[in-house]
C-alpha cells in the first residue's frame, strides 16, 4: 500500500505524507474516527463516489485528485498519458516561442486523446 483514499473526511494529512503515505479524502476532520466505524473487508470490490474499484485496479493521485484505472485498461491508459504529456510539451514549446491562441488550440486538437 502506498496511499490512503477515503470517501469522506480524513485527518493529519501532513503527518501521513511525512510518513510516506499520502492521504486523499473529500474533506478534513479534527476529530478521531467515529465510534461506529469499523473495517468490513480487505481486498474486495468497493465503490468510491460512484466509481467501482476492484482489488487489482490502479489508483493514481496527486493534490488535484485521484483516478481509478481498471487493471484491464492499464496499458491503454498509459498510452493516453504519453499522448497527453506530448501535448503538454508541445504547448509549452509553443507558448515559449510566442504562439497564438489559435496555434495552441491546433496543437491540442491534433493530439487530444479520444474517449473510449
SS3 3: coil
Partner residues linked to 23 by β-bridges: 4
Helices (H) and strands (E) in the chain, counts: 3, 6
The CB-based long-range contact list for 62-69 (8 Å cut-off, 24+ gap) reads 65/24, 66/5, 66/24
Domain spans of the chain?
A: 4-69, 74-111
Q: What pLDDT shows up at residue 109? A: 86
Q: What pLDDT shows up at residue 19? A: 92
pLDDT digits (tens, 9 = 90+) for 10-50: 888 888 889 998 888 888 888 776 677 778 888 999 998 89
115: confidence class by pLDDT, cuts 50, 70, 90:
low
pLDDT digits (tens, 9 = 90+) for 87-104: 899 999 999 999 999 999
Instruction: Give this prediction's pTM.
Output: 0.68
SS3 26: strand
Does the domain spanning 4-69 belong to CATH 3.50.30.40? yes
Amino acid at each position: 500500500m502506498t496511499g490512503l483514499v477515503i470517501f469522506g473526511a480524513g485527518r493529519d494529512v501532513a503527518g501521513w505524507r511525512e510518513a510516506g503515505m499520502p492521504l486523499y479524502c473529500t474533506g478534513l476532520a479534527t476529530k478521531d474516527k467515529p465510534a461506529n466505524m469499523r473495517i468490513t473487508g480487505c481486498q474486495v470490490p468497493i465503490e468510491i463516489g460512484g466509481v467501482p474499484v476492484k482489488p487489482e485496479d490502479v489508483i493514481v493521485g496527486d493534490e488535484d485528485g485521484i483516478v481509478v484505472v481498471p487493471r484491464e485498461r492499464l496499458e491503454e491508459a498509459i498510452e493516453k498519458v504519453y499522448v497527453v504529456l506530448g501535448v503538454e510539451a508541445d504547448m509549452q514549446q509553443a507558448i515559449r516561442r510566442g504562439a497564438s491562441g489559435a496555434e495552441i488550440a491546433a496543437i491540442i486538437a491534433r493530439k487530444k486523446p479520444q474517449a473510449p
